[in-house]
Amino acid sequence: MFNFLFVTSNFNIMSFCFFAIFYLLLIKAKIKHKKFHCLRYTYATKLFEAGAPLKTVQALLGHSNIKTTADIYTHVMPKQKINAVEKLNYII
C-alpha cells in the first residue's frame, strides 16, 4: 500500500529522523553500534527460527521476489542443521 517505512496512524510520513533516534536508543541502552538494517535482519531471522514459511516472511518484508528473501535472509543455523541430521534417526 505504501512505500514508506514509518507512517503515523493516519498514514502520514513521520518527519523526524529515525536513524538518529535509533542511535540514541542504542547509546541509552548501552548497546554497541549496530546498523539500522540489523533490526530487519534480526526480525527475518527470528521468524525463520520460529518456523515461519518463506512465503510469509517474503510478504512481511515486502519483497516482490521470493528469491530476494531466500538469498538474503535464509542461512543454515546450527539448530536447523542438528534438526536435519536428527531426522535421519527416524529413517534408519
- pTM (2 decimals)? 0.62
Burial of 40 (0-12, 13-18, 19+ CB in 10 A): middle
**Which residue range is the domain that position 56 belongs to?**
33-91
CB–CB of 74/53 below 8 Å?
A: no
The answer as to whether 42 is a domain residue is yes
Over residues 40-51, the pLDDT tens digits come to: 888 998 998 888
Confidence of residue 2 (pLDDT cuts 50, 70, 90): very low
Give the total number of structural domains in the chain.
Answer: 1
Question: Which residue in the block uniquely carries the three cell numbers 518456523?
Answer: 51
Give domain status of residue 9, yes or no: no
Distance CA 40, CA 72 (A): 11
- pLDDT higher than threshold 80 for residue 29: yes
7 in a domain, yes or no? no
For residue 1, name the pLDDT band (cuts at 50, 70, 90). Answer: very low
Residue 68 lies in a domain: yes
CB of 79 within 8 A of CB of 49?
Answer: yes
